[in-house]
Structure 1
Amino acid sequence: MARRDFYNDPAAPKPNSIVPAATVVVPDERGRVLLIRRSDNGRWALPGGQMEVGESLPEAAAREVGEETGLTVEIIGILGTYTDPRHVIAYDDGEVRQQFAVCFEARVTGGTLLADGSEAKEARFVAVEELDTLNLHPSMRLRVDHFFARQSTPYLG
């Protein structure tokens, strides 16, 4: 399903849903962060997705990393909440979501890095110096920047 992100855009469609979602910052031993290149819009993003009935949000976060990248992770912390109503996501089926995501930090415990193809065209660890060269949505860049800033408390926004 195609997806289009709007941020602070007066031409954005009006949201008609809010869905609990998780994103995950997964650093490697060199301090790079795991990013995927989304299949639906070609943009780079943190792995993540929506919570399903019967699971907790941290479980959803770990599941999504596994589905999109092949890596098994352990959730070790919370980076923040990202609920900016100026960020809406429109899908081609008519759903328009207001952003609602909790971003976690995780560590790799197993698996083999491999993009799944259906949700992620590519998955790789990216150094902070490379971020400006990638088509990364501002909401994802904000989360990555918060990770590298190493704040002592979670971001509440």
Structure 2
Amino acid sequence: MRDYVAELRALVGSRPLILPGTSVVAVDERDRLLLLRRRDTGGWGLPGGLMEPGESFEDTGRRELWEETGLRAGELVLLDVFAGPEYFYRYPNGDQVHNVTAAYLARVSASDRLVLQETEACGAAFFAAREVPAGVIAPERPIVARYRRIAEGERPWPTWSSSTTACAARPR
């Protein structure tokens, strides 16, 4: 199948598009966040990407996490849906998007081997909430900020089941 967004871009050029996608807030056993160094902008970002026709948000998250990192997610837990003017982004090539992003929490293992998709990422690292670098790309800053509020105790932290990667909200 030809790239859906490329087909749209051939029709509309770099004009703004509303594009649904998924970001995966992948955390390891020490609750550190996985960030990827993006090749296109040089900034840090979450694994994730745009939805393909016929996919669910969860399907998109699983596919993108696998394609970009070689990691598999168990159950995904919806963190929130992010949209609005602060999610507008202009890529270095001039393409403009209004992102509608479903962000999911997923447990991954830091000991699993990361296999980066070199066309999209040139590096990856796990960061504690207080060590998240300043260079997170604009549309993902609110998602990372939400993770930080959870990790720093300002919002309820999910408890992870010992038998699966599922999590449920823990009452405070």
Normalising TM by the smaller chain, what interval? 0.7 to 0.9
The answer on 1:19 being equivalent to 2:22 is no
| 2:103 maps to amino acid | C
- Give the structure with the larger strand fraction: 1
Whole-angstrom distance in 2 between the partners of 1:130 and 1:149: 13
Looking at both structures, which has the greater relative contact order when contacts are Cα pairs under 8 Å and sequence separation is at least 6?
1
Partner of 1:155: none
Change (3 A) 1:126 1:17: same
Per-residue CA shift, 1:94-153, capped at 9, x if unaligned? Answer: 53111211111112279521221111111221112321x44113442321221232335x
Give 2:149's aligned residue.
Answer: 149
List gaps (5 residues or longer) in structure 2.
1-13, 157-172
Instruction: Kindly provide the CA deviation profile for residues 52-73 of structure 1, in whole angstroms up to 9, marking residues without a partner as x.
Output: 1122110101110111111111
- Is the 8 Å Cα contact of residues 72 and 111 (structure 1) preserved in structure 2? no
Aligned residue number for residue 130 of structure 2: 129
Give the equivalent residue in structure 1 for 2:46: 46
| In 2, Cα distance between equivalents of 1:92 and 1:38 | 12
Residue of structure 2 equivalent to 1:9:
none
Residues 32, 127 of structure 1: 8 Å contact kept: yes
Please tell me whether residue 67 in structure 1 is matched to residue 67 in structure 2. yes
- 1:116 counterpart = 2:153: no
Which segments of 5 or more consecutive residues in structure 1 lack a partner in the other structure? 1-13, 153-157
TM-score calculated relative to the size of structure 2: 0.71
**Rg larger for:** 2
2 CA distance for matches of 1:92 and 1:139? 14
Q: What RMSD, in angstroms, separates the aligned Cα atoms of the two structures?
A: 2.3
Say which structure is richer in helix: 2
Quick one: percent identity of the two aligned structures?
34
